[in-house]
């Protein structure tokens, strides 16, 4: 079961090029127990807001981020360009499950 963790402990390390500002973590959620493909370590879901929209960063040793408002586009990506799908698979999830976890924990727009 996912649980919120202190966001101040986890730096998102992203920069908003539209505003020239460094972004801070607004919310951090440990989703390790929701990821059956992860056998070692933890999986954190970090959230921030940029001018373009809300960002969800998945940190499982590597870091990758997606815009929450653009998940529809990620669901339709061609297999060779499907970073969202390959991330979900690495976590032991399908794309629908990963999208659901992100949307469930994302802060309000």
| CA 26 – CA 10 distance, rounded (Å) | 10
* Domain hosting residue 80, numbered range: 3-105
How many structural domains does the chain have? 1
Confidence at residue 1, expressed as pLDDT on a 0 to 100 scale: 87
Q: Is 82 exposed, middle or buried (0-12, 13-18, 19+ CB in 10 A)?
A: middle
Confidence at residue 45, expressed as pLDDT on a 0 to 100 scale: 98
Contacts of 1 (CB under 8 A, 6+ apart): 33, 34
- Helix (H) / strand (E) containing 83: helix 83-90
| CA 28 – CA 5 distance, rounded (Å) | 5
Confidence at residue 31, expressed as pLDDT on a 0 to 100 scale: 98
Confidence at residue 106, expressed as pLDDT on a 0 to 100 scale: 97
pLDDT digits (tens, 9 = 90+) for 6-65: 999 999 999 999 999 999 999 999 999 999 999 899 999 999 999 999 999 999 999 999
SS3 state at 47: strand
């Amino acid at each position: 079961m996912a649980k919120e963790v202190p966001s101040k402990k986890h730096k998102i390390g992203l920069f908003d090029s539209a505003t020239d500002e460094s972004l801070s973590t607004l919310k951090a959620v440990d989703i390790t127990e929701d990821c059956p493909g992860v056998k070692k370590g933890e999986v954190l879901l970090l959230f921030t807001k940029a001018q373009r929209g809300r960002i969800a960063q998945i940190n499982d040793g590597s870091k990758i981020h997606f815009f929450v408002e653009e998940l529809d586009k990620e669901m339709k990506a061609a297999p060779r360009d499907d970073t969202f799908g390959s991330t979900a698979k690495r976590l032991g999830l399908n794309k629908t499950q990963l999208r659901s976890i992100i949307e469930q924990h994302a802060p309000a727009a």
